[in-house]
Each structure stands twice: as C-alpha cells, then as structure tokens.
C-alpha cells in the first residue's frame, strides 16, 4: 500500500447521454474506467477503490463509501469520465496541498470537485460532520468546507465527458495522442517498421491519425488514406527527418482546414 490511495467515481447516471454507461465508453482503445485504473496504477496509487452505480446516492455518498475502505493517509478523488486521467493525477500529485488537500480549478476558476487530492482524515471528518443525510448530496457540498488549495490548470487537463458532443471531441483529441494508440495498432506499426527497416519511433501515429480524421471530416472519407499517403511521400522526398515529417503533416492538415473553410 502506498501513502496515496485513489477513489474512482464511476456511478454517474449519464443523464445527458441518454443514460449511457459512461465508464464503459471506449476511448483510445480502452474504456474510460480502464483508462482511469491504468492512470492510477501508473502513478503508484494503491489501493484503488472504484464506486459504481451500485453504490447509489450521488457523489458524496460514494466518497463516504470509498473513504470507509481506505487506510492510506491521503487519497486522490477521480471521476472516471475525465478525458485525460493521467494528466489530472500528475497535476494533483505535483502541486502543494492546503491543510486538507487540494482541488483542481479550470481557467475560469471553477472547481472540479472530482479531481481532488484529500487528506483521508479530513474527508472522514467532512462525512461525519455533514448535517443531515448524505444521500443525493453533491461533492461540492461535502468538500467545500475543507481547507483546500485551489490549483489552476488548463481546461484541457480537466475536460470531462458529459455529453455526446464532449465524447466526440475527446475521440478527436485521442486520435492525435500517441499514448492512446490501441495496442493492436501499435503492434502493427512495429511490424511495418521492422519489415521496411524503419525505427518505430519515427512513425508519429497520433499525428497521422489526426490528419486522416481531419481529411475524412473536412473533405470526404476516402480522402483520409490518400492525404496521409501524400504527406508521407512529401516527407520522404524531403529527407524523412522527424522535423520534415512534422512539417509535411502540418502542411497537409492546413490544406484540409482551408478546403473545409471554403466548403463552409
């Protein structure tokens, strides 16, 4: 067991997503729940307690149930619908806490109460001191009385998925992040690189997928592989260095954006 545990909140009703099972949504080849678990494990958080819909009663009730299972002196609190749980955990562990912990805030100063790092004793005290039933209570109502440091981060760090539009944006973002390349695709890229005598780390998979996605949406779906192929040809003709590859991909993406703007 480490000094910092994790409570993953996976019980949201998905009311703005037609009741969808948000923890089960796929992003970057894994479910949101799997991504949150992996981020917690990679950061060395232990144990990790996951509270799903079976707990019921809302976020505060889930936090009360989670802290009852933990013996670690502090815990990270994480909603599983966060787009980049690894970035959230890095921000939480890298900042100085207040007397009771810290909470991340967006660029407008709004707290993301389900992206917090709390002293376990403070959370237990907040649960015990809460006036009235805790069922149906928000995380804000439970945690606001605590002495927490407010840590500002870019909106992209604490972006979450509350609507189908949020989910589509998250998928677009994931396509350009090499960390989110599905394992099957990563293995195939390694096979291609080996067979053609290329270093696998010279293949910017995320950027290629981002270009292909932009071409498919901004031009026409068949334009995706053709645009990526042409960008690869141009990069190869120029020498194929990482900088030249990046320039070719960026130039092709700019052409797609211009084409999309003209059509609009």
3-class SS string, 168-216: HHHHHHHHCCHHHCCHHHHHHHHHHHHHCCCCHHHCCHHHHHHHHHHHH
**pLDDT tens-digit readout, 24-33:** 888 877 889 9
**pLDDT tens-digit readout, 89-147:** 999 999 999 999 999 999 999 999 999 999 999 999 999 999 988 988 999 999 999 99
Residue predicted with more confidence, 45 or 193: 45
Catalogue all structural domains in the chain, each as residue range(s) with its CATH number: 4-152 (3.90.550.10), 176-263 (no CATH)
Q: What is the pLDDT of residue 91?
A: 94
Extract the tokens encoding 181. 């390349």
Q: What is the pLDDT of residue 194?
A: 80
pTM: 0.69
Name the pairing type of β-strands 148-152 and 101-105: parallel
Q: What is the pLDDT of residue 264?
A: 54
Q: What is the pLDDT of residue 184?
A: 82
User: In the chain, what percentage of residues exceed pLDDT 90?
Assistant: 50
Entry field: residues in the chain = 264
DSSP three-state, residue 258: helix
Q: Which of 180, 160, 179, 166 is nearest to 27 (CA)?
A: 180
């Amino acid at each position: 067991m480490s000094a910092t545990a994790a409570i993953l909140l996976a019980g949201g009703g998905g009311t703005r997503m037609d009741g969808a099972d948000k923890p089960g949504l796929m992003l970057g080849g894994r479910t949101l729940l799997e991504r949150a678990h992996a981020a917690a494990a990679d950061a060395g958080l232990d144990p990790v307690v996951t509270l799903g819909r079976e707990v019921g009663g809302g976020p505060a009730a889930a936090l009360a149930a989670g802290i009852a299972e933990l013996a670690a002196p502090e815990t990270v609190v994480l909603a599983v619908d966060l787009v980049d749980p690894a970035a959230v955990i890095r921000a939480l562990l890298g900042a100085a806490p207040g007397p009771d912990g810290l909470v991340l805030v967006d660029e407008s100063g709004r707290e993301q109460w389900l992206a917090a790092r709390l002293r376990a004793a403070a959370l237990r005290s907040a649960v015990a001191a809460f006036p009235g039933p805790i069922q149906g209570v928000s995380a804000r109502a439970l945690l606001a009385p605590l002495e927490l440091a407010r840590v500002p981060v870019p909106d992209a760090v604490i972006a979450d998925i509350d609507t189908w539009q949020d989910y589509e944006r998250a998928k677009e973002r994931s396509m350009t992040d090499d960390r989110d390349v599905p394992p099957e695709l990563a293995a195939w890229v390694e096979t291609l690189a080996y067979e053609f005598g290329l270093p696998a780390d010279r293949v910017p998979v995320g950027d290629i997928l981002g270009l292909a996605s932009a071409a498919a949406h901004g031009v026409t779906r068949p334009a995706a592989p053709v645009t990526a192929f042409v960008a690869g040809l141009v990069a190869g003709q120029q020498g194929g260095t990482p900088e030249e590859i990046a320039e070719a991909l960026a130039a092709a993406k700019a052409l797609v954006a211009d084409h999309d703007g003209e059509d609009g």
